[in-house]
């Protein structure tokens, strides 16, 4: 039986966030930002996404992490991201027809 991986302690997570942000050069790795290679996110605005969810056996290893902008992170098909959707709608980050834009990955 595989044990579920837990989130890192906050201090360690901040170091991990910065390392992943530097590795990805502050660029969103989501599908909607690929056409804008010159655009980069400040570290404070960058979301670090687990490619394979922790709840499904994913880990905190660097190969399982990537930088996403808020929009791409909200629109990623992942049940744990549902809490972000209402705030993103309210803030105009995602369109009202956001379900059409959901992506797998």
CATH entry 3.30.1760 includes domain 10-101: no
pTM, entire model: 0.85
The three-point CA angle 16-20-21 to 5° equals: 115
- The domains of the chain are located at 10-101
Give the pLDDT confidence of 73-100 residue by residue, as tens digits. 999 988 777 889 999 999 999 999 999 9
Q: What pLDDT digit, counting tens, does each position of 41-76 carry?
A: 999 999 999 998 876 777 889 999 999 999 999 999
Task: Kindly list the distances between the CA atom of residue 65 and the CA atoms of 13, 43, 101, 102, in Å, as whole numbers in the listed order.
Answer: 12, 15, 22, 19
Question: Is residue 48 a contact partner of residue 67, using CB atoms and an 8 Å limit?
Answer: yes
């Amino acid at each position: 039986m595989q044990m579920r991986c837990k989130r890192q302690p906050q201090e360690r997570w901040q170091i991990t966030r910065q390392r992943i942000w530097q590795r990805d050069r502050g660029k969103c790795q989501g599908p909607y930002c690929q056409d804008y290679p010159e655009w980069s996110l400040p570290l404070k605005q960058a979301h670090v996404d687990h490619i394979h969810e922790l709840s499904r056996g994913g880990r905190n290893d660097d190969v399982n992490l990537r930088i996403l902008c808020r929009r791409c992170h909200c629109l990623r098909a992942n049940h744990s991201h549902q809490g972000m959707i209402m705030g993103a709608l309210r803030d105009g980050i995602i369109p009202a027809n956001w379900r059409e834009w959901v992506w797998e990955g």
